[in-house]
Structure 1
Amino acid sequence: MVQGYIQLSHLLRHKVTHSNERPFKCSDCGSGFKRAADLRQHERIHTEERPFSCSHCTKTFRTSSNLRQHQRVHTGERPFTCSVCGKGFTQLSSLLKHKVTHTQERPFKCPDCGRGFKSSGELMSHKRFHTAEGLFTCSVCGKGFNRSSHLQTHQRVHTGERPFTCSACGKGFTQSSHLQNHKGFTQSSSLLRHNVTHTKERPFKCSD
């Protein structure tokens, strides 16, 4: 279908979208744009102008579209709905990221090992394992870690903090997994000691 225009100027503006021509140049950084409106919007990055104000709070925005998107925080509007589970989102990009969770698709590929991930955030977390040094460094010994949670656990070696405490004996642990292992061990030991009372078994013999 051929699209028609009332004015020649409208047709000329439209034809630019079919080419790589970017006739509108930014005088500050030299970036080119296909439309004058896009250039004006870009120029606000340099001028820090934010002409669009939220009527609910004091926040201001460079574009009207950013303002409309922000106002959904106040109105609760979620116009982008998942067709699978019905969950609503304020942004189309958030919906697209969410929809991947309903499929086996993993479009974000690691350039080092080829492993796929459902979100860019998951990929960024994974890529830390390919770096020579961790992004999170201990200020005491300089050891590096790929995750902040791993650094936090490590730092307890230096501070002596043991935030996970056994309610039965009061013994403290640096990690919750260590506490769970301890609790499982004490419970099984108590069970074994109790089971002996129901038998004639005397497993511990005096050698003297």
Structure 2
Amino acid sequence: MEKPWKCEDCEKGFKDRHELERHQRSHTGERPFTCTQCEKGFTIIGNLRRHERVHTGERPFTCSDCGKGFTRLCNLQSHQRVHTREGPFICSVCGKGFTQLHYLENHQRVHSGEKPFICPVCDKRFAQLSYLQNHQRVHTGERPFICTVCDKGFTRLSHLKIHQSAHTGERPFICSVCDKGFTQASHLQAHQRLHTGEKPYICTVCDKGFTQLSGLRSHNVTHTKSRPFKCSDCRRGFKSSQRLMSHRRIHTEERPFSCSHCTKRFRTSSNLMKHERGHTGESPFTSPTGKSVTRSSLAEPQSHSHQSETL
């Protein structure tokens, strides 16, 4: 087929002007198609349309065997090998088969311990690029996955899906001891340790035990002066990602916590709870007799002479 449209940079030929213009963006770096959610740019509109499914959660390519959905046809085709047991890429160490070569390459790092992807902010290492990209959102504060019900943002699509169960009320994982329901199996497993008293995650410095690995990681920072979570605006460091996210709202002026009684909004859930007590009349302070009292009534009474002096 004749390709009369030539690129002046690399002399590659194209059959029409539109293909040439699209190709030239690889030289200019132009990305005219921009995502309205996260402002990421793309050279062609088809790539933008596929990317937008990350935000909407749309998965139009569905597996006929298990019903699992995918954003791209090639991902569905790779997945279907799971059902056909076709795994042409075999690990020479453990004999496990993989449907794609890059899956095998990622898996082999389990045996080698290699973690070639390094965070430029805190030097944490990762075995896969996707793990590093997810981690970096801790430092940037980026939350591209937005809940369509409450506008809350998340760093990962899986976290958004878990959150959405809070709106549906679905809690399929039930504790056999107390019948409490959970949205995730991992949350149920962590909860069950409250009944068993098991604390498998032990601090190597002080031997304190924790029911969850996340609790141990947060605790470990107390033994060091490290503040690895840096604000991208003011470079202030924090010991946990939660504290960084709370701090960043100072810069973004985001107030995600809304009062159910009025239109006032707050940066933190604790400030919202304090505010809502003004509507309900509830007090967090309890007297020895069991009655709720205000902070002022807990103060030591002053003499009338002293009050008159201060007035």
TM-score class, shorter: 0.5 to 0.7
- Aligned in 2, Cα 1:116/1:23: closer, same or farther, shift over 3 Å? closer
Deviation at 1:46, TM superposition (A): 1.5
**Structure 2 residues not aligned, in runs of 5+:** 1-71, 86-97, 99-157
Question: What is the aligned counterpart of 2:213 among 61, 64, 72?
Answer: 64
- Aligned in 2, Cα 1:64/1:137: closer, same or farther, shift over 3 Å? closer
Query: Equivalent residue for 1:55?
Result: 204
| C-alpha distance after superposition, 1:52-105 (max 9, x if no partner) | 211211411012232122101102222221111111222211111111112332
**Structure 2 letter corresponding to 1:110:** C
Q: Are the aligned partners of 2:200 and 2:211 in contact in 1 as well (CA < 8 Å)?
A: yes
The whole-number CA distance in structure 2 between the counterparts of 1:62 and 1:22 is: 21
Deviation at 1:134, TM superposition (A): 4.5
| C-alpha distance after superposition, 1:14-71 (max 9, x if no partner) | xxx7898987654323436655x55443321211101221121141101223212210
The whole-number CA distance in structure 1 between the counterparts of 2:187 and 2:284 is: 37
Alignment of 1:114 onto 2:263: yes
Alignment of 1:127 onto 2:276: yes
Within 5 Å, which residues of 2 pair with 1:1-208? 2=75, 26-30=175-179, 31=181, 35=185, 39-132=188-281, 134-136=283-285, 144-145=293-294, 148=295, 150-153=296-299, 155-157=300-302, 160=303, 172-173=306-307, 179=310
TM superposition score normalised by structure 2: 0.40
CA RMSD of aligned residues (A): 4.2
Overall identity of the aligned pairs, in %: 34
- Aligned in 2, Cα 1:161/1:67: closer, same or farther, shift over 3 Å? farther
The whole-number CA distance in structure 1 between the counterparts of 2:218 and 2:282 is: 39
Structure 1 or 2, whichever has the larger Rg, is 1
TM superposition score normalised by structure 1: 0.56
| C-alpha distance after superposition, 1:139-188 (max 9, x if no partner) | 79x8942xx2x2244x414xx398xxxxxxxxx449xxx74xx6xxxxxx
The whole-number CA distance in structure 2 between the counterparts of 1:85 and 1:110 is: 29
